[in-house]
Structure 1
C-alpha cells in the first residue's frame, strides 16, 4: 500500500524547508514533484517561486501580477502550474523503482487555483505512488477531503518537530 503523508502547518513553520531536506536525503531514490518558496526584496515578501525537483524554476505569484486569480495581494500565473508543476508530478522516475515518490509543496490556495493541478493531484492519490505533500492549516474543501481519507497520515509540522521530521520520514521512505 502506498504511503500518503500530508504535512500540515501554519505559514512560516518550515514546511518547504522540511520537504527540501527530505528530497536531499532521498536523492538516490527517483523523485517527482516541486517546491515553492518566497521571493523577497529588501526583507519584504513580494511573491512566490515554484521549482521542480528537476531544477526548472518560474515565478508563480507576485505583487506585480494582475491576476486573475488573486490570492491575497498576489496575482497568480496559472500557466506556471500548467507548464511546470503538473508535468513535474507526472514524471515517471527513471529506472526500475518499487514505487514513485512524489513530493508536493504545497497544496495551497495559489496552487489549487489551477484545475489541471487539482485533477493531477486527485489522480496521484488514486495511483500506486508514495506521496508527501505540505498542506495549509486553514479549511479548504479540496484539502479537507484529502485529510479525511483513510489512507492519509496527517502530521502536524511544528517548530518543535521540523528539524527531526525529514530524517524520520526519509528512513521510512527510503525503499531499496
Structure 2
C-alpha cells in the first residue's frame, strides 16, 4: 500500500530473486513516460550455460560493467579482500561504471533527478566512495532516492540499516504475491516525493 506521507527514500526490499530489480526497471520506465528525470544504475545477473557466474552493473543510460564474478579457479587470490561468498567483487569496474551516475549536476534552475541505486548491498560496501556518495545523496533535502536493499540476514550492513531507519524513508516489502500490484504505488511514492521535496535546498 502506498503511503500518503511524502518520503525521500523509496526503498524496496525482499528475498533474492523476488523481482526487486524488475520493479525498479518498470518504475524507471513509467517515470520516464511522465518526463520525470531519472539517473542511476541497476544490477543484472550474468549467466553462462544456464549457470549464474556473476553480476553486472548497468546504468540507466546503457553503460555496463562487471560488479562480481565467480573465481575461475576458486582461489580468489587476486582480490582476496573483495569477496562475497564465491564471488570476487570487481571494485574498480564497479566504481568506474556506477559512481558517475550518482553525481547530481550542480544547477539551481532545475530540480535534481530521481537517483536509482540497485542495490545497496554487501558487494557495493567495499567501495568507500560509494558509501560516502549514498550518504551525501540522503543528506540532500531535495533529492529523491529509489533504492533496493537486502532483507535483514546475518550481520547488519550499517549503511542499509541507516537507510531503513531514516526518518524520510518508506520501505516496500516485495513478495511474489504483491510485486505486480506494487508498481503504481512505488511510482506514486516517487512522484509525491519529487513534488514535495524538489524545491527545497
Query: Does TM, scored on the shorter chain, surpass 0.5?
Result: yes
Q: Unaligned stretches of 5+ in structure 1? A: none
- The match for 1:10 is 15
Return the alpha-carbon distance in structure 2 between the equivalents of residues 71 and 100 of structure 1. 31
- The match for 2:174 is 157
- The match for 2:49 is 42
Shift of 1:98: 3.5
SS of match in other structure, 1:107: coil
1:120 aligned onto 2:125: no
Aligned residues of 2:104 and 2:112 also touching (Cα < 8 A): no
Return the alpha-carbon distance in structure 2 between the equivalents of residues 156 and 80 of structure 1. 30
Count of aligned residue pairs for this structure pair: 176
Aligned residues of 1:36 and 1:48 also touching (Cα < 8 A): yes
**Which stretch shows the higher mean deviation, 114-123 or 66-75?**
66-75
Return the alpha-carbon distance in structure 2 between the equivalents of residues 42 and 93 of structure 1. 45
- The match for 1:53 is 60
After TM superposition, the structure 1 = structure 2 runs for residues 10-29 of structure 1, keeping only pairs within 5 Å, are 10-27=15-32, 28-29=35-36
- The match for 2:123 is 110
Q: Unaligned stretches of 5+ in structure 2? A: 1-5, 196-201
1:2-36, CA deviations, whole angstroms, 9 ceiling, x for partnerless residues?
62111111111111111011111111211111000
1:58-116, CA deviations, whole angstroms, 9 ceiling, x for partnerless residues?
11100137423011101111112321111111143999644421111000111111100
Return the alpha-carbon distance in structure 2 between the equivalents of residues 61 and 36 of structure 1. 10
1:87 aligned onto 2:92: no
Shift of 1:140: 1.5
Aligned residues of 1:18 and 1:166 also touching (Cα < 8 A): yes
Return the alpha-carbon distance in structure 2 between the equivalents of residues 34 and 95 of structure 1. 24
| More strand, by proportion | 1
- The match for 1:133 is 147
Q: 1:149 to 1:173 in 2, by over 3 A?
A: closer
Return the alpha-carbon distance in structure 1 between the equivalents of residues 63 and 107 of structure 2. 18
